[in-house]
Chains A and B, each alone.
Chain A
Amino acid sequence: MKSAIVLFPGINRERDMFKALTAVGGTEPKFVWHTESEIPECDLIVVPGGFSYGDYLRCGAIAARCPVMAALRRHADHGVRVLGVCNGFQILIEAGLLPGALMRNANLRFVCKHVRLSIENSSTFFTLGMSVGDVVSCPVAHGDGNFFADPDTLERLEKDNRVVFRYAEGSNPNGSINDIAGIVNEAGNVVGMMPHPENMIEPLHGATDCRPLFESLLNAA
Chain B
Amino acid sequence: MKAKIKITLKRGVLDPQGKAIEGALASLSFTGVDNVRQGKYIELEIDETDKTKAKAKVDAMCQKLLANTVIENYEVDLV
Contacts and interface: CB of A to CB of B under 8 A. Distances in A.
B66 A108 contact: no
Contact of A65 (B17, B65, B70): B65
B13 A103 contact: yes
B71 A103 contact: yes
Interface string B41-79: 000000000000000000000001110101100000000
Interface in B1-52: 13-14, 16-17, 20
Nearest to B67: A58
A169 interface: no
B16 A57 contact: no
B61 to A, nearest CB: 11
A150 B71 CA distance: 8
A150 B34 CA distance: 24
A92 to B, nearest CB: 13
Contact of A106 (B14, B68, B71): B14
Contacts of B66: 57
Contact of B17 (A58, A108, A150): A108
A101 B16 contact: no
B13 to A, nearest CB: 7
A153 to B, nearest CB: 8
A58 B40 CA distance: 11
Contact of B70 (A57, A100, A104): A100
Question: Contact size class for A?
Answer: 10 to 19
Given A57-B66, A61-B65, A65-B65, A104 B71 contact: no
Contacts of A105: 16
Interface in A82-108: 94, 99-101, 103-108
Contacts of B65: 57, 61, 65
A61 to B, nearest CB: 7
> Among the interface residues A101, A103, A108, which one has the most CB atoms of the partner chain B within 10 A?
A103
A149 B14 CA distance: 12
A194 to B, nearest CB: 16
B76 to A, nearest CB: 17
A148 B68 contact: no
Contacts of B70: 99-101, 148-150
A25 interface: no
A69 to B, nearest CB: 13
A108 B16 contact: yes
Interface of A: 57-58, 61, 65, 94, 99-101, 103-108, 146, 148-150, 175
Given A57-B65, A175-B14, 14 more contacts: A57-B66, A65-B64, A100-B70, A101-B68, A101-B70, A101-B71, A103-B71, A104-B17, A106-B16, A107-B16, A108-B16, A108-B17, A108-B20, A148-B70
